[in-house]
Amino acid sequence: MEIQEIYCPQTMDKCNYIKHHSGLDIYVCEMNGFSTTEALFGTKYGSINTMFKTKDDKEYTTVPEGIAHFLEHKLFENEDCDAFELYAKTGANANAYTSFDRTCYLYGCSENYLESLKILLGFVQSPYFTQETVDKEQGIIGQEIKMTNDNPAWKVLFNMLSCLYHKHPVQIDIAGTVESIAKIDADLLYKCYNTFYNLHNMVLVLAGNVKTNDVLKVADELLKPCENIELETVFPEEPYEIVKNEIHEHLPVGMPMFNIGIKCRPLTGYERLKADLECYIAGSVISDASAPLYKKLIDEELVNSNFGFEVFEGDGFFTLIFSGESKDPKKVTSYLIDEIERVKAEGLDKELYESIKRSTYGNIIMDSNNVEAVASNLISAFMSGVEPYDNIKIISEMTYEDVQKALLERFDTKNLALSVIE
């Protein structure tokens, strides 16, 4: 079992990578001088992974929406106790989350990191489901779903995604629906667990006050070797065109909220990360507080300081989102479309491009001195199928021409939808 050092020439940061004999990928970043530790144990299993098969399956299995999130909730309980009770004894602060493309179990601590690591590897590898506990959890998660349905920020996003995507499951709430989780039983949970929690589909990341050899001793002791089942996940074929241009919903808000989404062709791996960073710079130049669009919107009292931009991408989806609050979201959309078309024709402001590129690069460098951010970046790289420091490489080599090209290719204003919560 070889320890491979991964080095970043731009920052001189480094981490260790181990392909463990159990099948698990392990990344350890020893950060000398830091007193805290952050650990994540994750699987490539999120809300969008509802169709899958292994090498032993002839047909694809389709499971109810929300089952990845449901499974995350249930794994913290075993036959004897709750994992949080065990963490309380080591002093670690533990949590977990399910997103569109991953489920991660994590803890942060300032001492006893190896004892906490044993808890983490122990409970995630020891599922315990009964129909009685599943029935109880359906009620709890059902209430959670109803609460998010009353959350304007959550609804404005998913309403927008429903306008953009015909079939891709990214448009479905991560927790599923009350109807979909009612179809979940203990047998189905075990099937999904045995498929997606195979160590060949998982990663362990530690950063901070850690030693690689000590981590590997615990891994050797507790990881249960398993066969590579050659997992395949698929999505329904998704057309490039959007479903519809606009959606409105009424909820209690002081000012109408909006998401303006532009649907792009999906990418994978390094190309996706490159497009993400290029589009982020382009969209940030367009929406920056010193840019002409923002000044115009502020002068006409159409937005406030909440106006912003983000790139939202993953397996089979890639979306550009401008968001904020406005008394007239349609007018904001019209001005945004005009501004995108203008900078396509005339070019982005080069001075502002340089400023935003430098600040983005600076933020990434600052993250390298934050234990939690280092661990998060390592696991995100694994989930995206790229190397740990590829984001730094891409942005350090990025040119104005790269960003202008991404603007022309991916900011398609004919593939745009407006979602409003009134």
Q: Mean per-residue pLDDT for 194-211?
A: 97
Q: How confident is the model at residue 385 (pLDDT cuts 50, 70, 90)?
A: very high
Percent of the chain residues past pLDDT 90, beyond the cut = 93
Residues designated catalytic: 72
What is the model's pLDDT at position 78?
76
The β-bridge relationship of strands 232-233 and 246-249 is unpaired
- The neighbour count for residue 8, using CB atoms within 10 Å, is 18
| Closest alpha carbon to 416 in 215, 261, 278, 225 | 261
Delineate the domains of the chain, giving CATH numbers in brackets. Answer: 3-233 (3.30.830.10), 246-421 (3.30.830.10)
Q: Mean per-residue pLDDT for 289-313?
A: 96
Q: How confident is the model at residue 1 (pLDDT cuts 50, 70, 90)?
A: confident
Beta bridge partners of 82: 77
Q: How far apart are CA 146 and CA 131, in angstroms?
A: 23
Say what the pTM is.
0.95
pLDDT for residue 372 is more than 90:
yes
pLDDT tens digit string along 74-130?
A: 998 877 778 999 999 999 999 999 999 999 999 999 999 999 999 999 999 999 998
Beta bridge partners of 317: 314
Mean pLDDT of the chain: 96
In sequence order, which residues have a C-beta less than 8 Å from that of residue 165 and are 6 or more positions away?
Answer: 171, 238, 242, 243, 263, 317
pLDDT tens digit string along 238-296?
A: 999 999 999 999 999 999 999 999 999 999 999 999 999 999 999 999 999 999 999 99
**Helices 83-90 and 113-124, axial angle in degrees (round to 10):** 170
